[in-house]
A and B are shown apart, each in its own frame.
Chain A
Amino acid sequence: MKSLKAQHHRLSSSEEEIQILESNMPSFSGDRFVSELENSNLFPLKPTQIEILQINLGKMCNQVCKHCHVDAGPDRKEIMTRETMNECLEVIRNHHINTIDLTGGAPEMNPDFRWFVEQIRAISLEITIIVRCNLTIILANPKYHDLPEFFRKHKLEVASSLPYFTAMKTDSQRGDGVFDKSIKALKLLNEQGYGVEGSGLILNLVYNPSGAFMPAAQSGLEAEFKKRLSDKFDITFNSLFTITNLPISRFLEYLLRSNNYEGYMEKLIESYNPVAAAGVMCRTTISVGWDGYLYDCDFNQMLELKVTSEDSRHIRDWNQQSLTAREIIVKNHCFGCTAGAGSSCGGTTA
């Protein structure tokens, strides 16, 4: 399967995506999300404090997941350079950031991934570094086989997608054979102590619904995942994060193609939760694109909606004061983060 970009698909254009999100349905045309925030006294939406720097190391990935909001895949060549990484390090060195969240694509495919992690650790032993590892990358090539040891050495926190504890649902979303490889990779991580009680090495799993429906309640599903993975595969992990699929990129393409778009959007809107809206991740996060540009979140990054602070739109121009005072860009795709129990890269928010 090719990325939407390689297919020259109309939804590889962020302008086209935004147009669809704003005009395709009478029940939420225009700025429906803005109206909801106004009713919740949250508009304009502002940051609380910048605690997390989520850095996209590139759009290249060994998988082509059907719901991917990045439209990542082997045919994507956008990769963060060492020069941009150095600019990120400068910000990490000079500002109080609690957490560095490394994502992609498969962030490990960036040739400077290990160098970058070592540089962050050289700055601080305390800072939390999360790697969003798709699991199969560990087995994709011998040069990646020692990634679990590398993660352990630098005390990275591992967050890995696993849509379900069976092959059928996992493979339907992430590709044939992904479940079996993911299980092997999870065993390798467990062998290093990841997800094992008392080790201090955190292994969290991420659940995305494999279709046009909302995620299950996080705590109940976590208990079910723990039991199934332990009973059948002897695998342990720390927490399960449930994440709602946002209607952009490949998931938007799926919704439109399968005639599920209208029903899905209605459900997101009906499920708007002001408590979840107050806790959205963009209030504590800055997302850095592979080319160094700054965004409110990973989703706004994919829609090419750069932060509104004009003097601080690139990592090299980082201005903490201006970024903290900025207005966060919100559009109808944001209903994905405010539905039900809320959704963020760290799971539910309400």
Chain B
Amino acid sequence: MKTYYNPEDLKNFSKIGEFQKPLADKFFDYYGEVFAEGALTAREKSLIALAVAHAIQCPYCIDAYTTDTMEKGCDEEQMMEAVHVAAAIRGGASLVHATQMMNKVKEISM
């Protein structure tokens, strides 16, 4: 194996049931329902998935949801804005902890 990630493996995601079928079946049923039209549109859910894919830095998910958002009619600007939402939350999650650092600084400073 030359790399841990092989794009071809994405096509085999549905085959994880070969090793444990009942749990895989439950997961894919749940997955399908999550992404169906609901209170949020399938298009909105796809953009959320694209943003989360970048937040968790999953190459398979980025591959799949880049195509999926385009197939839901999104354009590059909308997709990049979704990724910026992920980046803002990730960056903000680091920065908001600065309040702890500031508290500690104030606690131990004269």
Contacts and interface: CB of A to CB of B under 8 A. Distances in A.
Interface of A: 164, 166, 168-169, 209, 211, 213-217, 220-221, 224
A58 to B, nearest CB: 32
A215 to B, nearest CB: 7
B75 A220 contact: no
Contacts of A220: 41-43, 72-73
A168 B75 contact: yes
B35 to A, nearest CB: 13
Contacts of B103: none
B18 interface: no
Interface in B20-43: 41-43
Nearest to A166: B75
A213 B70 contact: yes
B28 to A, nearest CB: 16
B71 A221 contact: no
A231 to B, nearest CB: 15
A224 B73 CA distance: 9
Contacts of B70: 209, 211, 213
A262 B70 CA distance: 19
Interface residue range, chain B: 10 to 19
20 contacts: A164-B75, A166-B75, A166-B77, A168-B75, A168-B76, A169-B75, A169-B76, A209-B70, A211-B70, A213-B67, A213-B71, A215-B73, A216-B43, A216-B71, A217-B72, A217-B73, A220-B41, A220-B42, A220-B73, A224-B43
A217 B42 contact: yes
A172 to B, nearest CB: 10
Contacts of B67: 213
Nearest to B73: A216
Contacts of B71: 209, 213-216
Contacts of A214: 71
A169 B76 CA distance: 9
A-B pairs, 8 with minimum CB distance? A216-B73, A221-B73, A214-B71, A213-B70, A213-B71, A216-B72, A213-B67, A169-B75
A179 to B, nearest CB: 12
Interface in B41-74: 41-43, 67, 70-73
A267 to B, nearest CB: 9
A164 B71 CA distance: 13
Given A213-B70, A214-B71, A220-B73, 20 more contacts: A164-B75, A168-B75, A168-B76, A168-B77, A169-B75, A169-B76, A209-B70, A209-B71, A211-B70, A213-B67, A215-B71, A215-B73, A216-B71, A216-B72, A217-B72, A220-B41, A220-B42, A220-B43, A221-B73, A224-B43
Interface string B68-110: 0011110111000000000000000000000000000000000
Contacts of A164: 75
Contacts of B43: 216, 220, 224
Contacts of A211: 70
Contacts of B73: 215-217, 220-221, 224
B13 to A, nearest CB: 14
Nearest to B78: A166
Interface centre among A216, A221, A224 (most CB of B within 10 A): A216
A135 B52 CA distance: 39
A164 B77 CA distance: 12
B3 to A, nearest CB: 19
Contacts of B75: 164, 166, 168-169
Contacts of A221: 73
